Amino acid sequence: MADGAFLTGESRRYRRRVLLIVVLIGGLATAQAGYALAIANRFLFKDAVDWIYDILLWLIALAVFGRGRRAEDLAALGVGLVMLVAAGHTAWELWDKIATGRRAELWVAGWSSGAAIAVGILVVGLLLRFRHARNPLILATWLSSRNAMISTTAYALAGFFARTAPSQNWEILLDLFAIALNLQAAASVALAVRRDWGRPDAGDGQAAPGVASSGR
């Protein structure tokens, strides 16, 4: 289906909201990374880099909006690759933390958890108007973001506890859990694309990869 025919007024509003989400998260990540570099704080910088994965997932979902199954399959592989890179990044950070024994300061752990929760609430607020959307993909994105806000809040609070606990073991376990989630997601995407690759493109533009968290 041609973009011009697919892009209803609702679809255009959806695109603008997603672009606004990308700009706001990108601004937060840039400001946080700059400050982290200025004070030479590796934990704060790593958290800023983690936002890149979320931005990439939003951009991929937006790029394939209504472009057919083959584009969606390629985008799904892109999402899987993002998850794989996120797993590798977290694994490298975990190795470094174990080797050096370094821990995040209390204020860094608090900022990381608070920022993740705030962004989740912001995304839900920006997509709230689409909670009754007619387009299935837009509605699915709203529902995914709503559920992600809840899970992100729980994960952020668990992360704060793990980073501030007397023992580093909780933080190690949480990182291992995040790595496992990302690897499982990447493998599931690859298997799904392999299974559906030979099927004809229905051209309905309705099925697309959902917007998921990168494991923050």
Q: pLDDT by residue (tens digit) across 60-77? A: 877 776 676 677 677 777
Residues 33, 49 contacting (CB under 8 angstroms): yes
103-162 confidence digits (pLDDT tens): 778 888 899 889 999 999 999 999 888 888 776 667 767 877 887 788 788 888 888 988
Residue 207 falls inside a structural domain = no
Structural domains counted in the chain: 1
What's the maximum distance between 2 C-alpha atoms anywhere in the chain? Answer: 58
Q: CA 26, CA 55: separation in Å to the nearest integer?
A: 7
Distance of CA 1 to the CA centre of its chain: 28
Domain-embedded: residue 216: no
**For the segment 168-213, what is each residue's pLDDT rounded down to a tens digit?**
888 888 889 888 887 887 887 778 777 767 665 544 444 444 454 5
Structure confidence at residue 72 (pLDDT): 66
Closest CA relative to residue 210, chosen from 115, 139, 135, 124: 139
Could you tell me which residues come within 8 angstroms of residue 190 by beta carbon, excluding any fewer than 6 positions away?
77, 80
Of 147, 127, 116, 152, the residue nearest 18 (C-alpha): 127
pTM comes to 0.69
Residues spanned by the domain of 19: 3-196
In a domain, 23, yes or no: yes
The answer to whether residue 215 is domain-embedded is no
Among the listed residues 190, 195, 211, the one whose alpha carbon sits nearest the alpha carbon of residue 65: 211
- Domain assignment of residue 113, yes or no: yes
Q: Has residue 156 been placed in a domain?
A: yes
- For residue 87, being part of any structural domain is answered with yes
46 is a domain residue: yes
